[in-house]
Structure 1
């Protein structure tokens, strides 16, 4: 890994991949075809892009496919999935927001009504690997919020068009029964606009490749989306007390995701920097995904050497990483200084994969520096809020002239007269 001294000239923020013009146009065409031709277009794109021939009647996962998935899964795997679901549900149950009302002295009632979304679509990738954790992290907060209809889509596997067994049993353990074997931009379009087989939803969540990301961008407004997720990122803040072996292992845990994943160490200690660089090279040699991780480390990995902890913390905040590990002598003393990070892991026992799978917090996190203004996926993302206004007779008498004056400031005479009509009626009583 490259060891780079921090200076004013060092740029820490990388650009966001917006897709090529050809990719944008291709996605636009796919969405248009699905919107206009529905299941026929879905079938065509599944055959051409996924190389799987399924009729619309075969899109939906059957009970038999679910039973087969359970038959192919060992009890230990099932137990781990169940426990992970329980941990994640417990954490998210603490995020629930309640509707509220307040009554003023003049009798006016104001408040906020919190309502779950009616229907949510969860996209589950099916490319380089199966991600049952993605299902849990997207489905659980929606369920806790009270969403009644949760639909799952995932690209079918070649050649038989089935889905991964672990993906299916995870969905089953969560109680998801509406699952479709469709993927890519065409699946996003189906969720947004609906087909004869797939009814539309109100929000689409879940990660995917660039075509899925672009499709979510293009259907936004027709439906809500969670975020446009970029490649995975990890930032580690370390001092002389940190263990280089742990740091290297945690950097590689993200590098193996994707050749474009970012793995960055910010440290105040030259010896730690050198030891981590050496350890990364050593640990890379026996990784099953060595080629992917090596490309990530080479292209997007770095070790930044700071002159002191203040400079190191500033660099971490500038990076605004998806995952931030604080491996210092007293990580809790550093925590109040952290302003921008998706998830913060404190101490050497809090390895990033702990949060990916088991601890409880959501692993759907802002990437590409968007932690400067974005948050992890929460129960709140699956609700909407309505304001409640019940003005009293006393309140309208006291404030109508002020409201009318404000309306006339903006040139809206009908607004002004609407409240003044109430005064006329009150005067005639």
Structure 2
């Protein structure tokens, strides 16, 4: 079911304890590049052909008509609409407080530097739609962009055979609920390419304007397209397989932990579920609870394969300090803390995409209704990167304003440093202003 590794009394390298699932983006690049070039040169017709070839259905048109968006929301089950509405409300509350204010620093008399925060002008938001569909990802992409003040938002999601070649109806309803009326039936690498280059029809009419940035999770083809097009278009990250780590002591509830490990294993056969615990008894009880709960799960085969993979494990360590060293080295996308004084322990974590504190803060809450964002760094990138936020969609721009006296005060230093770097023209540009 899942491997159990007893590390008590042993010396080990924390970063090498649990291998991650293989996701060879480099190997995917040669397959993705022809798709990107096809979109760049072929525009809208190429996108329609790729939908037919790669998604198994040719969209009736690339852009979803507005009346279809409205009808999708009208047809949405009331309880799903209520849940999405509450998710959106909470996400706006949290992301609103992430907005950054303009700030002016007075460096000297007559010398100021002002930092302005300007939103990206246009963003393409990718919402997966393969094995599962994710209306929650619509919320997580759109809300921070809206709070950042992004002027133009467009969503791309794969065409679905059971929805007439349009994206999943619940995704369309979520877009309408959020007020996004520009949605395209385009999936995979071709969606990233569409946002990077834009798309025109055979008559040269613009179907989709190019974007400045693309965000959102996706499969290996989406990640490879992002890597290939980085620089042509801004990206948020290259999302890898989802992962959960749980840090627990002897007081934790084994059935709850098992359920949380299963919840992430449900995503994909290469999803990672890791438990780091100071209690051998808890480890044994979690294994037993996993056996019971997996068998009763809808996606039992997928979950069992993910739990049995090398990327998943239960690690038994000597003490809390060692456990913290392991989870900090692992830098999980999601980290749950099931220990005594969980809030204090959580403050000792340095590397994690999001930290879920205490037994009543499961990852599933963060996926939908915590108010936090669920687009998070994977593959150990949490040691240097953050999840999607308002900041993702903002650019810091400095306004430097010096008067004559302020420039004169520092002119000699500028000239000295310019000559030290053998760039005399830099110094001359300042000295010239005082030569008369």
* Bin of the TM-score, shorter chain as denominator length: over 0.9
CA deviation after TM superposition for structure 1 residue 42, in Å: 1.0
Aligned pairs for 1:60-99 within 5 A: 60-99=63-102
Choose which of 284, 304, 327 in structure 2 pairs with 1:294: 304
Structure 1: distance between partners of 2:113 and 2:67:
51
Residues 306-321 of structure 1 mapped to structure 2, 5 A cutoff:
306-321=317-332
CA RMSD of aligned residues (A): 1.3
Are 1:119 and 2:130 an aligned pair?
no
Aligned residues: 422
> Given the alignment of the two structures, is residue 278 of structure 1 paired with residue 282 of structure 2, yes or no?
no
* Alpha-carbon distance between aligned partners in 1 of 2:304 and 2:108, rounded to the nearest angstrom: 67
Please state how far the C-alpha of 1:18 moved relative to its aligned partner.
Answer: 2.8
Task: Give the corresponding residue for 1:184.
Answer: 188
Distance (Å, rounded) in 2 between the aligned partners of 1:20 and 1:53? 29
SS at match of 1:38: helix
Task: Write the deviation string for residues 331-367 of structure 1: whole angstroms up to 9, x where unpaired.
Answer: 1221222111111111111111111100101111111
TM-score normalised to structure 1 length: 0.96
- For 1:421, the equivalent position in structure 2 comes to 432
Report the Cα distance in structure 2 between the residues aligned to 1:378 and 1:241, rounded to whole angstroms. 34
Q: Which runs of 5+ in 2 are unaligned?
A: 201-206
Measured after TM superposition, the shift of residue 125 of structure 1 is 0.6
Distance 1:346 1:54 in 2: 44
CA–CA separation in structure 1 for the residues paired with 2:210 and 2:298: 39
When structure 1 is superposed on structure 2, of 6-15 and 25-34 the one drifting more is: 6-15
Matches within 5 A, 1:13-412: 14-15=19-20, 17-19=23-25, 21=27, 23-54=28-59, 58-158=61-161, 160-196=164-200, 197-299=207-309, 300-412=311-423
The structural deviation recorded for 1:117 is 0.8
Structure 1 unaligned residues grouped into runs of 5+: none
Structure 1 position 105, deviation (Å) = 4.0
Cα separation, 1, equivalents of 2:48 and 2:343: 53
Quote the residue 1:3 is aligned against.
4
Segments of 4+ moved more than 6 angstroms: none
Contact 2:73 2:177 survives alignment (8 Å): no
| Partner Cα distance (1:87, 1:333) in 2 | 25
Q: Could you tell me how far apart the structure 1 residues matched to 2:26 and 2:99 are?
A: 40
1:126–1:110 Cα change, 3 Å: same
Task: Give the superposition deviation at 1:421.
Answer: 0.2
